[in-house]
Amino acid sequence: MRFIGKTNIKFIEKRKIWYLVSLIVILVGLISIIFRGIPLGIDFLGGTEVIVRFEKPVAIGDVRSAIAQVGLAKSEIKIYGTHNEILIRTSEQAEGTKMGEMILSALQSNFPDNKITILNEEKVGPRIGAELRRKAFYTVLFSLIAMLIYIGLRFKPIYGLGAVAALFHDVLVTLGFCSIFSTVSYLNIEMNQSLLAAFLTLVGLSVNDTVVVFDRIRENLKLHKALDFISIVNKSINETLSRTIITSGTVIVVLLILLFVGSEVTRGFAFALTIGIITGTYSSIYIASAIVVDFTLARQRKAEKEKLLKKQPVSAK
Amino acid sequence: MKKNRWKIILILISIAGTLWYLYPTYKDINYQKKLSQLRGEDSLKFVQENLDDIQKVRQKRIKLGLDLQGGMYVSLEVDIVKMLDNLAKNKDETFRQILAEVKKEALTSQEPVTSILLRKFQERGIRLSRYYGDIRQSDAEIISELEEQAEDAIDRALEVIRNRVDKYGVAEPSIQKQGNNRIVVELPGVKNREEVRQLLQSTAVLEFKLLKPADIAIKVMQSIDNYLAGKGVADTVDTTNVVTQKQDTTKTIAEELGADTSAGLSEFEKFKKEHPFFAYVRVDEGTGIGFVMARDKKMVDFILSRPDVKNLIPPDFEFVWSAKPFTAQDGNQYYNLLAVKKDPEITGKVITEARATIDPDNNSPIVIMRMNSEGAREWARITGANINKHIAIILDGTAYSWPVVRTKIVGGSSQIEGLDSPEEARLLEVVLKAGALPAPLEIIEERNVGPSLGEDSIQKGLKSAYLAFIIIALFMIVYYLTGGIVADLALVLNIAFILAVLAGFNATLTLPGIAGIILTIGVAVDANVLIYERIREELAIGRTLRSAIDEGYSKAFSAIFDSNVTTFLTALILYNFGSGPIQGFALTLMIGIIANLFSAVFITKVIYDIVADKYPTVVKFG
């Protein structure tokens, strides 16, 4: 069986259009991030979060008014999974950890004939939140630097730059999508440790595709010395296209299963990774490879110019 | 075939090792199933009978993270502001005002609390010596002393928490010091959260209690033994005789148990029927101190907590356990069971100083303890009245040491000798201080996962793992025919390797960890896809099957290697960043990558080397 036979698509020639497309997508995402943001989870925000399960379905408005009675009107209340499970989050920090009990008793007195159990309760102090934000920033930064160095060493520095540019692109696009889709309550998107883990995994996986293409470029450069650089890159992308699509396909299938069958807890993670893998596949071609082409062409032009400049005095003699 | 001999041996060894590491997990699941069917005393009996094996498989099985089995994660910090408040003397309005400011700032600042304090004092031009330390000391000296106190406090808190959690009886608790002033406690399966918070945060109680005289202690144990054997209570037999005789019997029985002969077992059973208490508790005649094998501790606890047994224990009488087990000459771990007077002679509040040091006379570790004047007076009276008796040092109901009083101690400075090691002395120092200088702990992070959520997560995780596996496996077969079967085999091995390594390294499987495995299912086939696509290319340009396979593997390798290294690097960074569950994810990802290189590249190549030579018609890549 074969999805894709031998192809000869001229990827690189169209790169300018795709630069523009990427730019637009990133801009839309950034606008969403600026105006809507990504809701910060309790890991980063600090506060108290309680997930309760009601025996019978309840209306979210009733829960809100019950919570408001104990002075937590500003709490965030949303459906978690099914209609019987509700997540309540407040940034208020009671001395000790009385908040959970307070919420539970408020709910119990308002829904006397509905059995309520606490599924999950988390309390994160403000210092932990701040610490985590700082650590998260450094973690993503370190991973990008690590990629830059590794690929720069294994291939050429330019390739490292191309790969990292693609990674930036993937992270930005995925952040944008997460922000746009953060209103879909099914997905449970919020900036927490598990979403951060998704971003780092995405860095690791999306660079995979890039590496495979680069590897083929490296090989073809040795084999076909006569071909110009654009043709070599195009040839390499075409040759690896079948593999790229199959691998990305299997990973996406798995992630979709995780998204729709897996636990609520990992949904945001699965969503972010799905987007990340799709953009990662795309960016390995239109960002990473394309940037390497542009860099290389620019350098070739510069080298030719210098050559001409050097030759001129000689020919003048 | 010949050139692959060592490779085949390596593969077989790794598969055997995998089965070896996964077997305890399989057995543990069976035990859990069995135990959930039994109730009350039956289950305790079942545990008692299979204790060694249950504990062995428990230690070697794949551990589930808190997010999967439910439980409580608590991160505590020494409340330094409170400590500063406790330590200050001559507190006035200015001090309270400064401390309030420090408290407010410390809530969000990364700056150490002591340096905030120093700054606030300097801003006002007040010297720290007004409230702390000595009038002659400089600010810097006092600050470093306070910092030392804070660090000391965390060690005390750690010991107090360890002791309490042990007593509370949580299975597989994890208590760790994180950084300089943080303690992370993980308690699987805990339901009563309020109780745990109390347990972790309440002030430690240090007491000195007199050991009961040996004859009285033995008499009480004797009556428990008689009662359990159905002989009725309080007989006036010559107890000392019985006990001596018992001692001998227990000794031989312990030996025979060690030899594990069935004859010994049946004799033990007989003895157990006649002396249900002494079968577990061996008593030293001279001191009346009991010795209980570590594995029997729960059983003895259970016996002692029975209401009818409790009635046999006199009201001013109490049994306490030693804090740490010791290894006896027979190689077994024993706890001591002490009979003490219920009312303490004195509490740890009077202790002003405790210091582990070395006795200059004989180079042995000792602990020096000082008391305040009020305590010293009491202490002189107590020690004077109890010369040559044991006094147990009891923290939160567990005995850490029970030294013998040599002389009447006047002046409040005591010396505790006869300690086995400097570590033991250091531990005793920590314990003695714990009662006097409480380390106020503050919960800065707490996570609770209800067992039903954990159960739910496991179910959903397993379901998606199965589904992902089936779909990917089928796809590979449809797309690559027999090549797909080989790749699927590699995939199965890959997952088994991950689980075996988790079990072998005592790592924890978390929900994100399961996600990591599921992700690995998707990513793992990548290596085979790369290789097979390459082989297809090589076949297309007219190579023979044999050389196409070799070329495919060798040309695809650099891409496989580089892409795995990059993923591994990010997983490594993630591991260093994350907390529990996220580390679990990063770990499974890292193991998965290494296992993937081994199974998807190395093993499949050996398979092709064999099959392509012998049955070339079978080998197809779609």
Quote the CA–CA distance of B447 and A122 in Å, as a whole number.
4
| Residue B313 in this model has a pLDDT that exceeds 50 | yes
Q: Are residues B558 and B508 in the same domain?
A: yes
| Residues in B touching A53 (Cβ below 8 Å) | 452
Mark which of B385, B419, B448 sits at the end of a domain: B448
3-class SS letters over B265-304: HHHHHHHHHHCCCCCCEEECCCCCCEEEEHHHHHHHHHHH
Q: Are residues B361 and B464 in the same domain?
A: no
ipTM of predicted assembly, 2 dp = 0.84
Mark which of B102, B119, B148 sits at the end of a domain: B148
Q: Are residues B271 and B376 in the same domain?
A: no
| Residue B250 in this model has a pLDDT that exceeds 60 | no
pLDDT of A6 reads 79
Pick from B450, B563, B573: CB nearest A118: B450
Q: Are residues B110 and B225 in the same domain?
A: no
Quote the CA–CA distance of B338 and B401 in Å, as a whole number.
11
Put simply, whether A288 touches B (Cβ < 8 Å) is no
Residue-number span of the structural domain to which B411 is assigned:
345-436
Across the range B565-590, mean pLDDT stands at 84
Q: How far is B395 from chain A (nearest CA, A)?
A: 24
Q: In the structure, what pLDDT confidence band is assigned to residue B238 with cuts at 50, 70 and 90? A: very low
Quote the CA–CA distance of A101 and A312 in Å, as a whole number.
85
Inter-chain touch A250–B522, beta carbons under 8 Å: yes
Q: Are residues B602 and B463 in the same domain?
A: yes
pLDDT means over runs of 10, chain A (317 residues): 80 91 94 89 81 83 81 76 78 62 80 81 78 83 90 92 93 94 84 84 87 93 91 93 90 91 86 94 93 91 86 56
Q: Are residues B127 and B226 in the same domain?
A: no
| Residue B232 in this model has a pLDDT that exceeds 70 | no
Greatest alpha-carbon pair distance for chain B in Å reads 102
Give the residue extent of every domain in chain A.
12-39+129-309, 47-124
Q: In the structure, what pLDDT confidence band is assigned to residue B615 with cuts at 50, 70 and 90? A: confident
| Residue B234 in this model has a pLDDT that exceeds 70 | no
CATH number of A12-39+129-309: 1.20.1640.10
pLDDT of B251 reads 42
Q: How far is B500 from chain A (nearest CA, A)?
A: 22
Residue B9 within any structural domain of the chain: no
Summary mean pLDDT of chain B: 83
Residue B58 within any structural domain of the chain: no
pLDDT tens-digit map of B519-542: 888 888 889 999 999 999 999 999
Residue B428: name the closest of B405, B407, B406, B398 by CA.
Answer: B398
Residue B536 within any structural domain of the chain: yes
| Residue B396 in this model has a pLDDT that exceeds 60 | yes
pLDDT of B579 reads 66
Q: Are residues B497 and B555 in the same domain?
A: yes
| Residues in B touching A212 (Cβ below 8 Å) | 530, 559, 563
First to last CA, chain B: 25
Tell me A286's DSSP state: I
Residue B396 within any structural domain of the chain: yes
| Residues in B touching A219 (Cβ below 8 Å) | 555
| Residue B231 in this model has a pLDDT that exceeds 70 | no
Tell me A264's DSSP state: G
The third-level CATH classification (topology) of the domain covering A47-124 is: Alpha-Beta Plaits (3.30.70)
Q: Is B235 exposed, middle or buried (0-12, 13-18, 19+ CB in 10 A)?
A: exposed
pLDDT of A97 reads 52
Q: Which of A101-115, A190-204, B95-109, B479-493 is the most confident on average? A: B479-493
Pull the structure tokens for residue B259.
């030899």
pLDDT of A313 reads 60
Q: Are residues B532 and B601 in the same domain?
A: yes
Instruction: Give me the number of domains chain B comprises.
Output: 5
Pick from B563, B577, B589: CB nearest A208: B563
- CATH number, residue B159: 3.30.70.3400
Residue B147 or B13, more confident: B13
Inter-chain touch A123–B475, beta carbons under 8 Å: no
Q: Are residues B170 and B279 in the same domain?
A: no
Give the A:B interface size as CB pairs under 8 Å.
Answer: 218
Quote the CA–CA distance of B565 and B304 in Å, as a whole number.
58
| Residues in A touching B523 (Cβ below 8 Å) | 205, 208, 247, 251
Q: Which of A158-172, B118-132, B165-179 is the most confident on average? A: A158-172
Q: Are residues B182 and B219 in the same domain?
A: no
Chain B 368-397, residues with CB within 8 Å of chain A CB atoms: none
Put simply, whether A76 touches B (Cβ < 8 Å) is no
Q: Are residues B458 and B516 in the same domain?
A: yes
Q: In the structure, what pLDDT confidence band is assigned to residue B255 with cuts at 50, 70 and 90? A: very low
Put simply, whether B562 touches A (Cβ < 8 Å) is yes
Q: Are residues B463 and B610 in the same domain?
A: yes
Interface test with A, best of B570, B596, B597 (most A CBs within 10 A): B570
Residue B41 within any structural domain of the chain: no
- CATH number, residue B496: 1.20.1640.10
Long-range contacts from B481-487, C-beta under 8 angstroms, 24+ separation: B481/B620, B481/B621, B481/B622, B482/B618, B482/B619, B482/B620, B483/B528, B483/B532, B483/B535, B483/B619, B483/B620, B483/B621, B483/B622, B484/B622, B486/B528, B486/B604, B486/B607, B486/B608, B487/B525, B487/B528, B487/B532, B487/B600, B487/B604
Put simply, whether B568 touches A (Cβ < 8 Å) is yes
Pick from A204, A212, A258: CB nearest B515: A258
pLDDT tens-digit map of B419-473: 888 888 888 888 888 776 666 788 888 888 877 777 888 888 889 989 999 999 9
pLDDT tens-digit map of B63-90: 888 888 888 888 888 888 888 887 788 8
Q: Is A261 exposed, middle or buried (0-12, 13-18, 19+ CB in 10 A)?
A: middle
pLDDT of A151 reads 92
Q: How far is A137 from chain B (nearest CA, A)?
A: 10
Q: How many helices (H) and strands (E) does chain A have?
A: 10, 4
Residues 6 or more apart from B319 whose CB is under 8 A from it? B304, B313, B337, B338, B339, B340
| Residue B565 in this model has a pLDDT that exceeds 70 | yes
CA angle B93, B99, B101 (to 5 degrees): 105
To which H or E segment does residue B319 belong?
A: strand B317-322
Residue B95 within any structural domain of the chain: yes
